[in-house]
Structure 1
Amino acid sequence: MSAHSTCIPASSVAAKFRKLGWLVRAVGKHVCPNCQVSDRNHNPNPQEGVMAPPLSLKDRLEQPKAQPAKEPAKAERSIAAKSAIPLLYMALDEGYDRAGQDYKPGYSDERIAKETGLAVEFVRARRESDFGPIRDPKAVALIGGLNDLGGLAIEFRALSARVESKLNELRALALKN
């Protein structure tokens, strides 16, 4: 394997030297930081308003490319939080009634959060996504009331039929007398 088997692109070398303070030119000699300072000392008033010559394609290619912004690192869960997640699922299995969509008496997101050491918001989010939402207590009461009304309606019809039967018996007796 030869010494030149891993060539570094010229643009990378130019970018590295620019970061170190060098004036990297496409044509001519490059200027080190010390020489740039001495040039400024010898010529303290450089001509103002002189435009730089337009960059050639080669110069543009040698300029360092802007790096994409790095995404902030995602927050890693602590080891304690990772070990608390199985406890969360065991507590939810024990305390949450999936069919009734509500906690069993004495259980709540707050209680499970306290027992597992997890945040209440985290417990709530996991319960909602994996076990289902809690029904609104008012809706549960209304549904229970509707069920009661349905039962009462059946009883009312039965009683109404009995009353109608007794009235028919009375009418029959009245016609005989």
Structure 2
Amino acid sequence: MPRAAYDLIRRRIDGKPATFARIVCRSCAAHAECRVDARPPPETIAKTFEREGWSVDRRNANRCFCPDCHPSRKGTLPVTMPATLTTPAPMPSPKLLRQVFAMLEDRFNPETGAFQDGWSDARIARETGASPIFVTKTREDAFGVLRVDPDVAALRRSIDDLLSQLSALSAKVDDLDKRRRP
């Protein structure tokens, strides 16, 4: 029996429960999410994704495509797809699951919803050999969602570094100014 076009995901945002619909492209595995009511009508969710350019078959997830892979935009329907996208992903080994979980425990702070400097789901996936989607889902299910955008966190670190450099330069200028005056 085909899987529905989307999955409902429940998360807590600012301590309150929220429901999201997630759709995955059959061709490239890209995904999109939208926040929905607790029990939305399927037509409403499908129309939301269709407005964003997705091709949605409301009853069969194997016929859902992102805007980049949309068959009508490519001119032809895909004939065959890799088996990895049409069959469910295998469950990761217990060893891999432990590695991912340990790295998330060490490098993700659930209270702030942020990773340590330089860490992300993608980096943990590279370090462990797990898929980025698996790492993201594990983090969301076990530790919570990102509340701080990694790019914003990187910008804040850069600003802090620049401010400390500015402070050091200001101290040097003051020191040179004192030496110059008798």
TM-score bin, normalised by smaller chain: 0.3 to 0.5
Query: Which structure exhibits the higher relative contact order, with contacts defined as CA atoms closer than 8 Å and separated by 6 or more residues?
Result: 2
The TM-score normalised by the length of structure 1 is: 0.33
TM-score, with structure 2 as normaliser = 0.32
More helix by share: 1
* Larger Cα-atom Rg: 1
Instruction: Specify which structure has the higher proportion of strand.
Output: 2
